[in-house]
Amino acid sequence: MMTDGLGRRISYLRISVTDRCDLRCRYCMAEKMQFLPRNEVLSLEEIALLADMFVARGIRRIRLTGGEPLVRRDIGDLVRRIGRHVGSGLDELTLTTNGTRLSDHADMLTGAGVRRINVSLDTRDPERFAHITRGGRIAQVLDGLDAARAAGLAVKINMVALKGVNDDEILPMLHWCDAQGFSLTLIETMPLGETGEDRTDHYLPLTQVAAMIDAHHALTPLPDRTGGPARYHAVDGLRARLGLITPLTRNFCADCNRIRMTCEGKIFMCLGHEDHVDFKAALRSGGVGAVEPLVDRALRLKPAAHDFRIGTDLAPATRRHMSVTGG
């Protein structure tokens, strides 16, 4: 069992398998991104070795993220390798995706032991989708969602709430998710990395959104947890469960159980801090045994809380983009 310096049990690892993505969402990335050279990225075998080590140390849930994880060549090899731990040390292997490549990979995910996925989808309007993603095609995502459902994957839609962009679609999205058999999680925009956009203009507190939904469907807090920061609610009259992730309006750090590993082998103990421990050099020079002491160092460095703030005169909380650590 891994415990940080504040006594919090760390049981959840998010692994970003690539910083690359086939979309350029305005709140997440700059239009012209400079991605890591391929020789600086861990091989899939190196990621698998580190995942093995973390499972042995007490990690019970692993989520694969990006960037967009399904753009990584031979991603199925890694999913199958980690999936072998499910039921034997690992409670769950999940994945967050933008859905554009789900049609090609849904059956592979199910076969490798993945039972549920998160799909980022901020609008179902084709023109808005193209605007938010800087050129994406909504039809690819909808086809991917159909493939995921056919493969037996449980789907949670992640929707970033953006004032003046998609706020009029939030209640319709909830109704659509209910009809599709999906759940919905709403997320406040997070000030990470320079994107060329003013996030303050589009910041929408989820306290306002929850009040709006509650006026139509009474919300009842649930004790359910899936390992992440979302707080879930039953929605009166609907089957769909509603999750709220509120990094700005309601800090959720007191019971944080997460660490994040980037595709270049850096462990970030907090999404909102730059502090990290780099595993890559130790792994490549001395193998997994050389990494073990660095895990303990990372646990000691985990901060009490993030420091997300938003405003026109405030710099992003970190220089790195969301795509580097995968949310």
Q: What angle do CA 213, 219, 224 make, to 5 degrees?
A: 125
Structure-token pair, residue 28: 């997440």
The annotation places the binding site at 14, 21, 25, 27-28, 63, 67, 96, 120, 156, 190, 253, 256, 258-260, 270
116-120 and 154-161: which strand pairing?
parallel
What is d(CA 242, CA 173) in angstroms, rounded to the nearest whole number? 11
pLDDT at 314: 45
What does the longest C-alpha to C-alpha distance in the chain come to? 59
- For the ranges 44-58, 186-200, 212-226, 247-261, the lowest mean pLDDT is seen at 186-200
The annotation places the binding site for GTP at 14, 63, 96, 156, 258-260
- For 221, phi and psi rounded to 5 degrees? -60, 140
Mean pLDDT, range 71-96, rounded to an integer: 97
Closest to 39 measured CA to CA, from 272, 312, 267, 264: 264
CA-CA-CA-CA dihedral for 276, 277, 283, 284, to nearest 10? 70
- Does residue 188 contact residue 204 with C-beta atoms inside 8 Å? yes
Beta-carbon contacts of 14 under 8 Å, excluding residues fewer than 6 positions away, are: 62, 63, 65, 258, 259, 260, 261, 325, 326, 327
Where does the chain show beta strands of DSSP type E? 2-3, 9-10, 12-16, 61-65, 92-97, 116-120, 154-161, 183-188, 219-221, 231-235, 242-245, 258-261, 266-268, 276-278
SS3 state at 276: strand
- For the ranges 8-17, 159-168, 247-256, the lowest mean pLDDT is seen at 247-256
Q: Percent of the chain beyond pLDDT 90?
A: 70
In order of start, what are the domains of the chain with their CATH numbers? 2-325 (3.20.20.70)
Q: What angle do CA 298, 301, 307 make, to 5 degrees?
A: 120
pLDDT at 216: 97
The annotation places the binding site for [4Fe-4S] cluster at 21, 25, 28, 253, 256, 270
Helix (H) or strand (E) holding 142: helix 138-150
Tens-digit pLDDT profile for residues 121-180 = 999 999 999 999 999 999 999 999 999 999 999 999 999 999 999 999 999 999 999 999
Q: Is 51 left (phi over 0), alpha (psi -120 to 50) or beta?
A: alpha
What is d(CA 71, CA 74) in angstroms, rounded to the nearest whole number? 9
CA-CA-CA-CA dihedral for 279, 284, 288, 292, to nearest 10? -40
Give the pTM.
0.88
The annotation places the binding site for S-adenosyl-L-methionine at 27, 67, 120, 190
